[in-house]
Amino acid sequence: MSKVAWIGLGIMGYPMAGHLATLRQHEVAVFNRTRAKADAWVARFGGRAAATPAEAAEGADFVLACVGNDDDVRAVTLGPGGAFHALKPGAVFVDHTTASAKIARELHEAAKQRGAGFLDAPVSGGQSGAESGTLTVMVGGEEGDFERAQPVITAYSRAVNLIGPSGAGQLTKMVNQICIAGLIEGLAEALHFAKRAGLDVPKVIDTISKGAAQSWQMDNRWRTMVEGTFDFGFAVDWVRKDFAIAFEEAKDNGAELPVTALVDQFYAEVQAMGGNRWDTSSLIARLGRNSSKPPVILRRPRGRRRTPRNARRLLRGAREGRPPQDDGGAGA
């Protein structure tokens, strides 16, 4: 039986750690900044609650974390009482946080100096995937560390793939979020259009979901989007945090992200509506708020017609890798 430490019991980490405990194949110690949540987890699943990440990691074969951002990852690893201060030689640290490739590479080197391994392993599948144990995990790091940690990770995932060296997992998660940005906005606009056109939306979806328009978002979110229900876990604040990471990386590698930049601005509008904690499908909420006005249709400029100033600014920022500025609303 291996010894496992888990750091971070949020909406993702709580059920993910729970799957490990349920297997009865690991001794599990948990740490959470709010001690009450750690105590509640222990009361439900067993194991023990630790006072610091270092205490949780003491003697552990595998230390896994799922926290908020780069600063949080650095705090629970290298900060006072951080897990790396107790990381034993041969242990593997697995970071499930969606963070930057830069912090992944930094911690990979720090772990190597301690004779331990480090994997950056962000996940996709949201709260429902964490609860059902069907997450997709994209991993960066060394093959030996991956092979050792993979059986542990499979406790809460259906797909675990080593993409490349340290940082590759985080870069792949950026690709994932860029894909999702356009998909959700496209679905939101399609549903909005169908409603405005007076179509039977269930019949429309039943038909087009059998063709090229089909997607996971369509299959799982169209009905709740039409109903205006946006409580499926992955919040707008968090997706904007992920976009900011992608924009920063794009600045370094020269990638152009014009659609992602526009969708990020649309999420800023959702935040201004009070939707910071709504899930990512809430993009539809900003459409048709004034139904007395005809829908706005953007056309390619002809002749001397000029692109609207705001659109020019957003596209220019995207080409330069800069995230758009908020027009109100709290940042992620």
Q: Residues 37, 88, 102, 173: which is the catalytic one?
A: 173
Active site residue 173: yes
Please list, residue by residue across 146-183, b when 16 or more beta carbons sit within 10 angstroms of its beta carbon and e when fewer do: bebbbebbbbbbeebebbeebbbbbbbbbebbbebbeb
**Active site (catalytic) residues:** 173
